[in-house]
Structures are given as C-alpha cells and as structure tokens.
Structure 1
Amino acid sequence: MSGLKRGYFHSLLVVPVIALFCLGKVYSNELVIGTTFSPESLSYLITEWEKQPNAASIRMLNRTSSSLNKLFDDEKNDNIDLVLSSSPMLFYHLQEKQRLAAFPDKFSQGKKFVPEILQKTTVAFSLSGCGIFSNVALLENAEVDVPTDWSGLISPNLQGLVIMSSPSRSDTTHIMIEALLQKQGWQQGWALIHQVMANVGTISSRSFGVVDKVQAGLGAAGITIDNYANLLTHYNVDPHSVLIFKYFPNFPVSPTFIAITTNSTNSRQASAFIHFLLSNSGQSTLYHSKMGKYPIIPLAKSHPLYATQQFLFSQPTIDYQLMLKRQEVVKLMFEHQIIHRLAQIQENWKILYQKEQQAGHPLPELREILTAL
C-alpha cells in the first residue's frame, strides 16, 4: 500500500476514534438522575443547578418506585448517577442490593431527617407535609366544610368527590396510609380508610396527578403532599383562590432523599450536586413558588414560611422499621380488600347512608360490619 493510501486510511480510523472520545467526554459531564418526581416539579431546581460554574447538564429518568427498583436489577441501569425520591422503601431496597454508594461525614447535615437504617448511603435535603388539597367551590356545592383530616373526608355528601392514589402505584400514598395506620391503630385505621374510600371517585395513577384532577374539577378534595399543591396555590397566599391545601395535624412529614449510585460514572459531579442542594443557595431554591418544598435549614423568623417550616419540624416521626416490615402486607391489603372491592364497598356505604337518613340517626352496628377487615 502506498504512503498516500496508508495516510488516507489512517485518517479514516482516527476521526471516529476522536469522535468517540469526544462523545465520552460529553457523556461523562452529564448527570443522570432517576426520580419518582414529575419532571415539572424538578425543572426549576435543575435550571438553578445548571447556572452553577462547571455544572454538569442533567438528564432525568422519571419512573415509579417499583420501576426504578427493577431498573437497578440490570447492571447497566441506564447509567444512573443519582436517585432522588421521597420513598424510603426505594432507597432501602437499593441499599440492600448494594446499589448505593456510602456517603462521607461531610454530608452529615443532610442526615437529620433520614431513617437511621439509611444514613450511610442517603441524605435528605427538603421536607414536604401531608394533607388535603381542596376545591372550595365544589365543597361549597356539596355543603361540606374544607376538610383538615382524614375524618373530614367521610361525609356522605362527598360521595364520588374524593381523589387519591394507591400504595401500589405511589409510595407517597403508601407512606400516608402507613402513617394513618400507625396513628389510629391497625383496626381503626383500616376502618377509617374504608369510609374514605367509599367517597373516592378517582384513583390517580400517581400521587402528583391528584392535584391536577382537583384543579380540573374532577374532585373536591384530594390526599397529597404540599409541594404539588404549592405549585398551584403558591403556599396559599391568594385568599380568593378556590384551591387550598390543609395539613393533617400531628402527622409525619415526607423528606426528599437523594443518593449516589455505586455505578455512577460521574461521582464528582453527583457529589457537587448534593453540595448544591445542601448549600444556602440550593436550600433557598426549594421554597421558590416553582418548587413548593421546604428546606431542612431553618428559615429566619422574619421569613413568611418560617411558621409552616417550624410546624413541619414539630411533626411526629413515622416508625420506618415498622413500615418496611409490613410494606407488602399494607399494599396487598389495600389492593385486595379495597381496590378490588371498591364498587361493592361504595354501594354498601350508599345503602347505609340511605338507611341512616331514613332512621334519622347513625347505625353503628351496620357501620362496624362494613369496616370489619
């Protein structure tokens, strides 16, 4: 082969090699975040991060908790660098599979709201509270006061007007169901859930879909967390809005967790992203109206969100060990005892309400039968 031809073929080989190298450089400067949150709820945070000097661009993979967990059964797992979710169950399962990297002590600030069993691999950077998102106009039409607790959702006038997700579809809903069971006790908790479900008109596929449906007038009240509601109510600052969020009293908060994966190809940038989340600038990003969350760093007393943050700080802690121990039982109970029998449950309660109206007083014996497990 002549020197000219050798040079020509050499150049053909060099070009793709350089191209692959360049692609590798681009890829290594990309952070891939697997998350259970909707892309809209994180877009402002990502925008603020990408304004930081030398910040990697971010690609998000939005999945359910179970889908993300299964994704990590594959060694490649879409090259996920970070996992971001409010589901302690997800982080527990990934930690058990040794898919999460150990955190150094420099992130100790973010471990205050993390279950002890996860503190070696996981940090928390924000808080959300649980409660009820309501459409006041629809409640007024139904002649029902704005509900502030689970018991406020059992009025016969709310039949078909309550919206929620299920534990098998949403770990956020699972946490709220578990918190209610821990607060009320197993028997009384399930009895109350039965009564609430008698009024449910829509089972949302995801927890963040609840607020959209209430806003659209598909229901009068939905069980959800504050940050999804805050995106629409802007922290309830408009007294004339028909949309309002009320916190459950004496009810555990829902921290947002993040962890670096053991297979991360960009652990330096992943660590920098967590530093940003725990920094003053990152924490201030969280309570912007486009985020709707609360920081874990205490706000100044003069801050308009100070009182609500202190309220969230004062809420009881959920028993994570108990939740993890019986998570599958709670899911199965909800699916088989409620979801699969929902039409019959609602018909039974409709008949009961009619009989009570005819009698002019409650019928506790019949109620006990309907709420028995």
Structure 2
Amino acid sequence: MCITLALSSAAYTQGNSVTQDRTLRILTSMSERVFAPYVQRFEALNPHTKVLVLNKNTNHALGEISLGNKRGFDLFWASSPEAFDMLETFDHLAPIEGETHHAFALSSLGWSWRKGNMDVPPQSWNDLLDEKYEGRIGIARPSRSGTTHLLLEQFLQDRGWEEGWEYLLALSSNFATITSRSFGVIDGLKSGRFDIGLSIDFLAISEPDIAFRYGRPVMLVPARIAKLRNGAAPALAEEFVAFVLSREGQQILLSPDLNRIPIDKELRQTLSYSSYPSLEAALKLSWASYDPNTAARRYWMVNEIFDQFVTNQFSRRRTVWHKIRSLEKRLKLDNKSMQSLNRAKTFLLTMPISEHQIATMQPSPMPGPGARYAPNTAEQKVFQQNWQRQADELLAQAENELRNIGQ
C-alpha cells in the first residue's frame, strides 16, 4: 500500500518563493540511474535547492549512520528493507507523520544473462545447481550488498534454515566469482566474466542487452526511503520524500531507464507485466511474504556465516567440487570410493549452525565502519571463531575423503 504523507502537493513545488539556497544530503545504495532523475526533477521544481548524493553500499551506509550521522545526511534510500528495520531499532530514523520509513517501490530476485548468449536459460532456482553451470555464475558478497543479503534470506525463509543453507552451499559449487557490489554482477555479465548473474530485478531489467528471469516463488520486497536523525535539513527531507511518493515521483519509476515496480497500487493497476507472468501473479496473489524483521535481527549472523563457509573458502571449495564432479564422471568407482565421494559431498553441504542457536543470540548490532563490519562484542567474536573452525573442519573432512579415493 502506498503511504501518502500529510503534505500538500505544493510542498515540493513552491521553490520559486524560496529566497535562500537549501541543500539536501542523501545517503543511498541506489545507482545513479535510479536517483539522478529524482534529483534533477526535484531541483527543477525547487530552483534554490541543491541535492547532494553519496553512493555507498548498504552495509557501508549503515556504518556511516551508526557513527551518529556526523556528516548530517538527511535521507537514507535503499532496496534492503531490513536495513531500515535495523536503523529503526537503534533509533537512527526520524519519523514523518508517525512513520519512520516509507516504501516507494517493489522488487524481487532472480538471475540474468546476456541476450543471445544462452539458447535455453535456467528455468528455476534448482536448475542453477546443474553442473553444466560450474564456474558460470556470478554473485555479490552479501556482507557488502544489501540485495544479495535479500537473496540469502529468501532461501532461508522460503525453504527453511537447513534446506536453505544446503541449497546455498550447493549453489556455491557453480560460482565463478564473488563480486564486491551488486553492480559488479551486471558489469561481469556485460564484460563476459561469467554467463549468469544473481541479481535484483531492476539492475537487470534496465539494461537493454541483459535478460532477466524471476525465481519462484516471487518474494516482493519494498525498497524504502527514510529521514535520518541529526540531518541538516529535516523539512527539506520531508519534501523530497513527499515528491518520491507523489504520482509524478512514482511515474519516474516507469521510465525505460528504471523499469521499477511502483508502490502506488493504483498506478500498478494501469500497467501490463505480461513479459513477466510470475511477477504478475505475485502482484495479484502475493505468493510469498518476506519478513524483514527476522532478516534484520540476524543480519550480521547470516552474512558472517556466508563469509565463513563460502567467501573465505571460495577457492578451496571450488577445487573440491570440481574434483567430485570429475570423479563422478568415471565409469567405474568401487563401493568404498563411492562412499567416500558421498561423504565428501555431505560435508560440503552441511551447515552445523542451527537456527535455534542464531535465534538465541543477541540481535545483530549496527554494522561498524570499514571495508567490512567486524564483530563489536565478545560474544560475536567467539561465534565468529567457532564458525570459522567449523567451516574449516568440514572442508578438511571433504578433502580427506577425496584423498582416500583410489588408494
């Protein structure tokens, strides 16, 4: 449902009467393609207003805000809904008409490929596990990409904790690389570094040479915008939010360069999504719901687990998976060798960390500054060390099983 702010339509169109220059500061993980049309139009409507935008990935932006928003940013704008839940928990958001954050667009996840590069692209998430995609899939690092964190949580919430991690660990066998930002996935597709990219819809749909398919079930998640505490221009921030949620602001989402799904339900009803039937069904039937509160509570845990079991082991895991597949192609493997092979696969697909353990931990703190947010409590440091040890032990056991084959 579109949230209508209690501001008059003239609140953002009376710039001609303003005699003093005003500056609005926005911190966002959105690409320039998304924020530039809004900035340009808002400045045109308000001639004495200047909008300054700093683009940071979601986790770096959260780190900036967690330090107290010392540079006085007025708005935070991102696609990851759990980021806003974390900011609300730690009282970093300033309400507008009683609401601390405001949905402005809907998004969902899937995979992309270069048009004309694949005769038969993957049809489902499980298709991506096929060994023919080994070394052909790109993904961004979730601890540096809010949209990839959405991807992890989608599987954990839809399939359950154990099956979700088993799928993600199996999927990692086909990764070509782990990029540092969401944009790196689309860039990697365009440059030919890999053939399939896991991404959020709008990053791919806005590219003329990139095709995109929604994964089922389609989980629609709300991209949000919010006013920050300690901002330098709180009134101007409210005017900008009102503009983004206005009919004109929502229409901007429909431009060919953006192709985003507006939050305005009445506007959505005037559109055709026939090219994406699974999306159209999701908009009508709400196939699956996404819980940002759960995602926010275990934000650090999920990202850290992925880093310990996938990112930090990437080369070793890829080598082990390649050896397993090579051995499976042998015409003859004795019973003992097959047992070792199956045990190796089991070790690679095992997540020893239970959902109960995660649920009993303290909620995730705000990310800290730096290239990655480090644990800032003694408890987290202990968990991090334990998870690293468990990940190393399981991988070493898989490697040992493969050494036994043929001996």
Give the TM-score normalised by the residue count of structure 1: 0.79
Q: Does 2:230 match 1:252?
A: no
Matches within 5 A, 1:13-162: 25-26=20-21, 29-53=22-46, 56-75=49-68, 77-104=70-97, 120-140=99-119, 145-162=120-137
**Uncovered stretches (5+) of structure 1, i.e. residues with no partner:** 1-23, 106-119, 234-240
Letter in 2 for 1:98: D
1:253-293 CA deviation, whole Å, 9 max, x = no partner?
Answer: 23211111122232222111111111111111011112221
Quote the offset at 1:181 in angstroms: 1.3
Is contact 2:125-2:216 (8 Å) kept? Answer: no
- Counterpart in 2 of 1:185? 160
Letter in 1 for 2:170: Q
Is contact 1:167-1:331 (8 Å) kept? Answer: yes
- Counterpart in 2 of 1:321? 293
Q: Does 2:253 match 1:286?
A: yes
Q: Does 2:271 match 1:303?
A: yes
1:316-354 CA deviation, whole Å, 9 max, x = no partner?
Answer: 111223222322221121111111111121112111212
Q: Which has the larger radius of gyration?
A: 1
- Counterpart in 2 of 1:200? 175
Quote the offset at 1:35 in angstroms: 0.5
Q: Does 2:328 match 1:356?
A: yes
- Counterpart in 2 of 1:342? 314
Is contact 1:131-1:148 (8 Å) kept? Answer: no
CA–CA separation in structure 2 for the residues paired with 1:136 and 1:157: 19
Letter in 1 for 2:320: N
Q: Does 2:186 match 1:211?
A: yes
Between 162-171 and 149-158, report the one with greater CA deviation: 149-158
CA–CA separation in structure 2 for the residues paired with 1:360 and 1:305: 50
CA–CA separation in structure 1 for the residues paired with 2:254 and 2:280: 14
CA–CA separation in structure 1 for the residues paired with 2:138 and 2:64: 29
Identical-pair percentage = 25
Q: Does 2:224 match 1:224?
A: no
Distance 1:48 1:307, change over 3 A: farther
Distance 1:159 1:306, change over 3 A: closer
Letter in 1 for 2:172: M
Letter in 1 for 2:327: K
Is contact 1:132-1:248 (8 Å) kept? Answer: yes
CA–CA separation in structure 2 for the residues paired with 1:311 and 1:212: 30
Distance 1:76 1:343, change over 3 A: closer
CA–CA separation in structure 2 for the residues paired with 1:244 and 1:251: 17
CA–CA separation in structure 2 for the residues paired with 1:40 and 1:360: 55
Quote the offset at 1:311 in angstroms: 3.6
Distance 1:84 1:312, change over 3 A: farther
Is contact 2:85-2:293 (8 Å) kept? Answer: no
CA–CA separation in structure 1 for the residues paired with 2:332 and 2:164: 27
CA–CA separation in structure 1 for the residues paired with 2:67 and 2:269: 48
Task: Provide the aligned C-alpha RMSD in A.
Answer: 2.5
Give the TM-score normalised by the residue count of structure 2: 0.72
